Amino acid sequence: MLIKNVSALLGNELKYIQNTNLKIQNERFTRIQPNIHASSSENVIDCEGLLLIPGFVNCHTHIGDSIAKDITLNSSMDKRVHPVSGIKSQILKKTSKNHLKNFMKNSCMSMLKKGITTFVDFREGGIDGILLLKEALSEVPIRSIILGRLEYYHKFDELKKNTSFPLEKVEELDSLLKKCDGLGISGANENSASQLRYYSKTTKLRAIHSAETKTSISTSKKITGNSEVIRAMDLKPHFLVHMTYASEGDLYSAAKKIRGIVICPRANASLAEGIPNISLMKKTGCTIAIGTDNIMINSPDMFREMDYLWKVSMAINKFRINPKEILKMATVNAGKILKKDFGVIETGKLADGIFIDKHSIDLEPIHNVYASIVHRCSELDIKAVMIGGKIVHGKI
């Protein structure tokens, strides 16, 4: 396929190119330059008036709770989403699998329409939960990275004793890892150091929630005497999620030891848990990506996530982030943290992208392309979404 006469944001720095052509073969960008001539059998698409940007990567979701939208709005975070005692856990256990599957499928469709070409899900429910999500995904052409977990958690007295990972769970863990892309661990306060170290020996992708709330930080110190972030590092995670209340020392440690941090600002705000300190994360050298988190709390919308993050950071921290940096968090940085060939328009990378109408009523005239995407753009401005060189939503 040959895409002609398109504006594009290219490479790791999202360089704006007014007009270029892109050749796609075997799901990847193979040539990017003006004046590429098409072969006689090649499908040619003229994209005059369109802007191609990398497909969004939603780096942290829990789409299993799609069935519980806006339940218990005024409850605390633990009452809502604690993996053992939370209302979410009770709802998931009581809801029929068919119902859960249908609502997960709907959320995947919603993400696709909003330009999300890949999402990373912390999947509850053990092996059955993973298989259920895969059933939902069989009907939606979106990329997924599924991080599963065992439904096995430690109580506070077991954390103090540093209870080991039980031998009777070894086979179950091995079976789970064969069905998914890695581990998405709930947090250090539900897993002893010994258990996290056992999980760290697995060879697949590993991630964990950390320093999301003041309560989780104080609980860790009270029970174990150690920082929640330092304890989370026992997993040897590839990335940490949230880090809303991480200290400067925690962030310097994270920058040295892991690939990056995934922040979820709208979820933190919805739960009255504060806003991640982007300026401190950048100062300490952390690579940052974005996720929309629980669907019971938020719509899975990266446009809204970027817009909120950009403005609330200025309002609270008096720190102006270049909108290009916000857009990189939703695209380029995600590919780096996950070590995947997406999130960037570049020769050899997977041909995922969003075609945006430059003449949309909400965008024209575009004076700063990055600001326009971050705080003016919405799914209404999307003409089409492409995954692996195929148009999977919309029409050009």
Euclidean distance between CA atoms 324 and 336, whole angstroms: 16
What is the chain's pLDDT, residue by residue, as a tens digit (396 residues)?
999 999 999 999 999 999 999 999 999 999 999 989 888 788 999 999 999 999 999 999 999 888 877 876 666 656 656 565 666 666 666 777 888 899 999 999 999 999 999 999 999 999 999 999 999 999 899 999 999 999 999 999 999 999 999 999 999 999 999 999 999 999 999 999 999 999 999 999 999 999 999 999 999 999 999 999 999 999 999 999 999 999 999 999 999 999 999 999 999 998 889 999 999 999 999 999 999 999 988 999 999 999 999 999 989 878 789 999 999 999 999 999 999 999 999 999 999 999 999 999 999 999 999 999 999 999 999 999 999 999 999 999
Q: Token digits for 121? A: 């899900």
pLDDT attached to residue 76: 60
Looking from the CA of 238 toward its CB, the CA atoms found within 13 Å total 21
Q: Token digits for 86? A: 């939370």
The C-alpha angle with vertex 73 and arms to 67 and 79, in degrees rounded to 5, equals: 85
Residue type, 335: G
pLDDT attached to residue 165: 97
Burial class (CB in 10 A: 0-12, 13-18, 19+), 229: buried
Domains, the chain, with CATH or none: 2-55+343-394 (2.30.40.10), 56-338 (3.20.20.140)
Euclidean distance between CA atoms 234 and 253, whole angstroms: 13
How many Å is the maximal CA-CA distance in the chain? 71
Is residue 334 within 8 Å of residue 143, measured between CB atoms?
Answer: no
Question: E strand or H helix at 53, and its extent?
Answer: strand 50-54
Euclidean distance between CA atoms 302 and 374, whole angstroms: 9
pLDDT attached to residue 96: 73
Say what the pTM is.
0.94
pLDDT attached to residue 102: 93
